[in-house]
């Protein structure tokens, strides 16, 4: 049975887009019409790329998805480059697509990725009314398709020729290759050649990301004097490696916990006389006897932070805590950089304002900043230290990183329209109006 909609609600539902029309230019109305006309084509494209399995370590699969997009960007008049990664890194590579428009206008970097966390057996796209079950459909082939169809609509409306746009699609966002600086060089280089960045990880009707935390790994290696347990705490045997790491972790928790946006999780621990710890697999073994003061202990965890200052200050405090060794013990802490922080900047807020205004002009309502603690790390973070950007402009969906992932097909036009108008409105402005100068934040 068809649900009956009260007439007043129907009027309200129609009034939004109708009232918003006057704030769209003729060109923008053509952009919107082009997106509406390609709606089913866009879903078919999404199905095509979802049906190519492309887990991060499926190098051939990632490459096949990239080839599909590359052909589409070529036909849009972009200059495309495939950037392979060295064999030893075991990652497919990245697609870079560049379009030159009017000199002196804002240059926009669009960020997507082709790899998925879950490795499906094969084609898995299954349409269910307005939704589709699709591994990688929301995170983030849906976002990639939003980028492509926004650009196609801009071209159809005659707007693309003036725009300076570079799209970078990484092949290993979900599990970046190492060393990180080599794995992210193409993205960072593209960042330096552009003024602002828009990233298309999972989207939302009402919020977008102007700030997100960065992450660092840490590892403590403690040593003690192997001795008979009867002598523990004594001058000869000392306290042992396990009491030393217990002291350190308790001091971390009691002295550092509770600061806004700062978290440091102890994720794995092994201690004893004979200890192994594999830092790649994050797994280890311990063996000893109950009557031995342990000589070795290892703890590993992560650290999340909102600004580089918060990271450096926290690392210094952790080092100072580690250095206060119990008698007869020693310990070191090492930190491994992962994702830089994306601190809130005035420029990020100004890009959000463009997106928000476009959303309202299209009748989709306001878009507010997302709680910075709510979004995990992503590729935009690698360029955020030196350029302004906005994240979370991708497809709406549920179940990212899980086999039950679903993507909302009905919301694709909304996300594509909002992306296209934001690219158009930003890209028509003189470069001096947006973008950060070196060292400014």
Q: How far is the CB of 173 from Zn ion (least distance, A)?
A: 5
- Name the helix (H) or strand (E) containing 349: helix 346-361
Minimum CB separation of residue 223 from Zn ion in Å reads 40
Residues 6+ apart with CB under 8 A from 122: 51, 53
Question: What is the spatial distance between Cα 38 and Cα 396, in angstroms, rounded to a whole number?
Answer: 18
Q: What 3-state class would DSSP assign to 421?
A: helix
Q: State in angstroms the smallest separation of the CB of 63 from Zn ion.
A: 18
CB nearer Zn ion, residue 202 or residue 435: 202
Minimum distance between the CB of residue 187 and Zn ion, rounded to whole angstroms? 14
- Least Å from the CB of residue 405 to Zn ion: 11
Q: Which residues pair with 314 in a beta bridge?
A: none
Nearest to 202 by CA among 163, 178, 173: 173
Which single residue brings its beta carbon nearest to Zn ion? 139
What b/e string do you get for 26-48 counting C-beta neighbours within 10 Å, with b at 16 or more? eebebbbebbeebeeebbebbbe
Binders of Zn ion among residues 215 to 244 (CB under 5 A) are none
Distance of CA 5 to the CA centre of its chain: 39
CB of 397 to Zn ion, least distance (A): 11
Tokens of 320: 């100072």
Q: Which is nearer to Zn ion, 201 or 424 (CB)?
A: 201
Element at 183 (helix H, strand E): helix 180-183
Q: How far is the CB of 378 from Zn ion (least distance, A)?
A: 6
Q: Does 172 bind Zn ion (CB under 5 A)?
A: no
The residue (of 63 and 375) whose beta carbon lies closer to Zn ion is 375
Please, which residue, 109 or 140, has the CB nearer to Zn ion?
140
The residue behind tokens 């008698």 is 327
CB of 116 to Zn ion, least distance (A): 8
User: Least distance to Zn ion from the beta carbon of 135, Å?
Assistant: 12
- Assess whether the previous peptide bond of 158 is cis (omega < 30° from 0): no
| Least separation in angstroms between CB 398 and Zn ion | 14
Closest CB 24 distance from Zn ion, rounded Å: 31
Q: Are strands 126-128 and 263-272 parallel, antiparallel or unpaired?
A: unpaired
Beta bridge mates, 203: none
CA distance 393 to 351: 12
The 393-422 contact track toward Zn ion, x by CB under 5 A, reads ------------------------------
Nearer Cβ to Zn ion, position 201 or 417? 201
- Interactions with Zn ion, residue window 139-168 (CB under 5 A): 139-140
Helix (H, G, I), strand (E, B) or coil at 410: coil
Tokens, residue 161 = 């020729």
Applying CB under 5 A, the site for Zn ion has a residue count of 3
The sign of the torsion formed by the CA atoms of 100, 104, 109, 110 equals negative
Q: What's the rounded Cα separation, in Å, for the pair 250 and 244?
A: 10
What is the spatial distance between Cα 189 and Cα 187, in angstroms, rounded to a whole number?
Answer: 5
Site for Zn ion in 82-141 (CB under 5 A): 139-140
Compare residues 140 and 227 and give the one whose CB is closer to Zn ion: 140
* 184-213 residues near Zn ion, rule: CB under 5 A: 201
Residue 180 vs 268, nearer CB to Zn ion: 180
C-alpha angle 291/292/296, rounded to 5°? 150
Collapse the DSSP code of 376 into the 3-class scheme (helix H, G, I; strand E, B; otherwise coil) and give the result: coil
Nearer to Zn ion, 172 or 201 (CB): 201
Cβ proximity to Zn ion: between 107 and 184 the closer is: 184
Which residues are within 8 A (CB) of 388 and not within 5 positions of it... i.e. 6 or more apart? 195, 196, 197, 345, 347, 348, 350, 351, 434, 435, 436
What SS3 state is found at 198? strand
Query: Judged by CB, which is closer to Zn ion: 95, or 333?
Result: 95
Q: Which is nearer to Zn ion, 195 or 201 (CB)?
A: 201
**Beta partners for residue 128, in sequence order:** 131
**Which residues in this chain contact Zn ion in the complex, by CB under 5 A?**
139-140, 201
């Amino acid at each position: 049975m068809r649900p009956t909609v009260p007439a007043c609600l129907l009027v309200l539902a129609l009034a939004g887009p109708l009232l918003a029309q006057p704030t769209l230019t003729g060109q923008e109305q053509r952009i919107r019409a082009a997106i509406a006309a390609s709606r089913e084509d866009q879903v078919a494209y999404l199905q095509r790329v979802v049906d190519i399995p492309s887990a991060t370590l499926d190098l051939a699969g990632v490459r096949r998805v990239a080839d599909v997009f590359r052909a589409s960007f070529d036909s849009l008049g972009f200059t495309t480059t495939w950037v392979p990664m060295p064999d030893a890194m075991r990652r497919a590579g990245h697609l870079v697509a560049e379009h030159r428009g009017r000199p002196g206008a804002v240059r926009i970097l669009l960020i997507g990725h082709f790899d998925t966390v879950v490795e499906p057996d094969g084609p898995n796209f299954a349409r269910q009314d307005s939704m589709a079950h699709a591994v990688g459909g929301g995170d983030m082939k849906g976002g990639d398709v939003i980028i492509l169809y926004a650009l196609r609509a801009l071209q159809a409306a005659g707007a693309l020729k003036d725009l300076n746009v570079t799209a970078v699609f990484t092949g290993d966002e979900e599990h970046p290759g190492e060393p990180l600086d080599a794995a992210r060089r193409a993205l960072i280089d593209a960042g330096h050649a552009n003024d602002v960045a828009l990233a298309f990880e999972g989207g939302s009707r009402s919020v977008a990301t102007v700030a997100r935390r960065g992450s660092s790994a840490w590892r403590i290696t403690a040593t003690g004097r192997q001795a008979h347990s009867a002598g523990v705490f004594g001058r000869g045997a000392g306290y042992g490696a396990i009491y030393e790491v217990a002291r350190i972790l308790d001091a971390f928790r009691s002295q550092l916990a509770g600061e806004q946006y700062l978290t440091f999780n102890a994720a794995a621990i092994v201690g004893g006389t004979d200890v192994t710890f594999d830092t790649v697999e994050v797994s280890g073994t311990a063996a000893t006897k109950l009557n031995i003061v342990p000589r070795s202990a290892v703890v590993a965890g992560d650290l999340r932070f909102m600004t580089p200052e918060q990271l450096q200050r926290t690392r210094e405090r952790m080092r100072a805590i580690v250095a206060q060794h119990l008698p007869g013990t020693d310990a070191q802490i090492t930190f491994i950089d992962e994702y830089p922080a994306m601190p809130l900047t005035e420029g990020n807020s100004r890009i959000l304002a463009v997106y928000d205004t476009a959303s309202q002009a299209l009748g989709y309502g306001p878009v507010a900043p997302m709680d910075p603690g709510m979004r995990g790390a992503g590729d935009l973070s690698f360029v955020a230290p030196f350029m302004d950007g906005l994240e979370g402009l991708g497809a709406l969906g549920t179940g990212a990183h899980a086999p039950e992932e679903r993507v909302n097909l009905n919301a694709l036009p909304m996300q594509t329209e909002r992306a296209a108008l934001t690219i158009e409105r930003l890209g028509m402005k003189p470069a001096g109006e947006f973008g950060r100068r070196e060292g400014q934040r």
